[in-house]
């Protein structure tokens, strides 16, 4: 049996769930001993608003913004949002920061995708300073703040910060300044490489890498019909294959042929061709997919390989998003 304290629930950034359904799922995760619920930001809603709803409906489970793109808010807005959710939750909030994607930042938000790793460094420093309730007088390469100060004493002067990424520079940054690193599509191979980069960053700052959290979204599809589960995960992996850095990650895992086929398929804007480009082996390597026993075995392997917390990202084989979350929690607890 998997230790549920090493599991967390992830809420899809493009979730179709109502807020009430999200609350129900977070409550079940809390009841079953899950360590956290992480809410990603995308089409569904503002992450601070969603986490506030979950905070008011739970009492023990930790709640994380996972992941908040640093290029779509000012550091001060991040700081006051973090302080508010931490207060509402009674000190259960965790702040996950990521670069986001160039196409999303520019096409959806109308902003410039510029120096994301440096922004994560400066945002982290500003948020930590703000939560200390000292005046923020910051002169960085990107941001300059003068005399910014919270009006009320935060519940905690220190909120854990997780930095998300897959490349060496950002993982080294996580090791250097963050409380943890947030990964995606973890495998035994990528975990080994990521842990090395995190340790290199920690060494530069004279920190103990063993004390840093390493968490990751694990795309999970549980179904009695193994092939139906594989088909669902295949669609999700194909969707991520639209983006170059994910295709690069897939190639590093030994799926260079599939990555090239995904590039060609999305170049033609042919979704069905992209789905067919994803092999069964690719699905089973990059996700936890299949029967409840299959998924539990894959999760155990990842935790044994060095992942400290698996953030389950449940996929629905039957189109029932809420049911998929409930089945996944039931299967692993």
Q: Which two tokens stand for residue 135?
A: 């005046």
Whether residue 111 has pLDDT greater than 90: no
Domains in the chain: how many in total?
1
CATH number at residue 75: 3.20.20.30
User: Which is higher by pLDDT, 74 or 1?
Assistant: 74
Q: Which residue's structure tokens are 């002169």?
A: 139
Confidence of residue 123 (pLDDT cuts 50, 70, 90): very high
Range of the domain at 149: 4-219+308-332
110 domain residue, yes or no: yes
Each residue of 265-320: pLDDT tens digit?
Answer: 999 999 999 999 999 999 999 999 999 999 999 999 999 999 999 999 999 988 88
279 domain residue, yes or no: no
Q: pTM for the full model?
A: 0.94
Query: Is the N-terminal amide bond of 67 cis, ω within 30° of 0?
Result: yes
328 domain residue, yes or no: yes
226 domain residue, yes or no: no
Confidence of residue 241 (pLDDT cuts 50, 70, 90): very high
Each residue of 34-51: pLDDT tens digit?
Answer: 999 999 998 888 999 999
225 domain residue, yes or no: no
Note the Cα 15 to chain centre separation in Å: 14
276 domain residue, yes or no: no
Note the pLDDT of residue 103.
Answer: 67
241 domain residue, yes or no: no
Note the pLDDT of residue 43.
Answer: 81
Which range is least confidently modeled, 111-120, 238-247, 248-257? 111-120
Each residue of 132-141: pLDDT tens digit?
Answer: 988 999 999 9
CA 1 to each of CA 5, 25, 197, 333: distance values in angstroms, whole numbers, following the listed order: 12, 21, 31, 8
Give helix 188-204 / helix 168-177 axis angle, nearest 10°.
Answer: 50
- Select from 5, 6, 1, 34 the least CA-distant residue to 325: 34
Q: How many angstroms separate the CA atoms of 241 and 269, rounded?
A: 12
Q: How many angstroms separate the CA atoms of 238 and 275, rounded?
A: 5
Q: How many angstroms separate the CA atoms of 299 and 305, rounded?
A: 10
Note the pLDDT of residue 23.
Answer: 96
> What does the DSSP assignment read for 231-257?
HHHHHHHHHHTTSHHHHHHHHHTT-HH
* CA-based R_g, the chain, Å: 19
102 domain residue, yes or no: yes
First-to-last C-alpha distance (Å) of the chain: 8
């Amino acid at each position: 049996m998997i230790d549920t304290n090493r599991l967390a629930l992830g809420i899809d950034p493009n979730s179709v769930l109502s807020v009430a359904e999200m609350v129900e799922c977070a409550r079940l995760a809390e009841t079953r001993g899950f360590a956290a619920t992480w809410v990603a930001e995308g089409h569904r809603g503002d992450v601070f608003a969603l986490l506030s709803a979950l905070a008011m409906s739970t009492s023990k489970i930790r709640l994380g913004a996972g992941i908040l793109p640093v290029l779509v808010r000012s550091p001060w807005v991040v700081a006051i949002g973090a302080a508010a959710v931490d207060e509402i939750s009674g000190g259960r909030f965790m702040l996950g920061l990521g670069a986001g994607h160039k196409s999303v930042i520019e096409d959806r938000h109308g902003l410039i995708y510029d120096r994301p790793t440096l922004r994560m460094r400066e945002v982290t420093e500003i948020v930590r300073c703000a939560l200390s309730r000292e005046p923020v007088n910051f002169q960085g390469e990107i941001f300059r703040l003068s005399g910014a100060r919270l009006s009320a004493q935060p519940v905690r002067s220190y909120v854990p910060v997780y930095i998300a990424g897959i490349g060496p520079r950002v993982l080294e940054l996580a090791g250097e300044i963050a409380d943890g690193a947030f990964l995606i599509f973890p495998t035994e191979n990528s975990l080994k490489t990521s842990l090395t980069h995190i340790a290199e960053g920690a060494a530069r700052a004279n920190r103990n890498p063993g004390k840093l959290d390493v968490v990751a979204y694990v795309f999970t599809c549980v179904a009695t019909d193994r092939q139906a589960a594989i088909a669902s995960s295949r669609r999700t992996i194909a969707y991520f294959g639209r983006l170059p850095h994910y295709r690069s990650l897939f190639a590093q895992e030994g799926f260079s042929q599939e990555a090239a086929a995904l590039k060609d398929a999305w170049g033609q804007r042919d979704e069905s061709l992209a789905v067919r480009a994803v092999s069964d082996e690719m699905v089973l390597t990059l996700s936890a997919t299949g029967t409840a026993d299959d998924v539990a075995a894959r999760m155990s392997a990842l935790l044994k390989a060095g992942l400290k917390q698996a953030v389950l990202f449940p996929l629905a084989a039957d189109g029932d998003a809420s049911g998929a979350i409930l089945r996944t929690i039931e299967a692993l607890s």
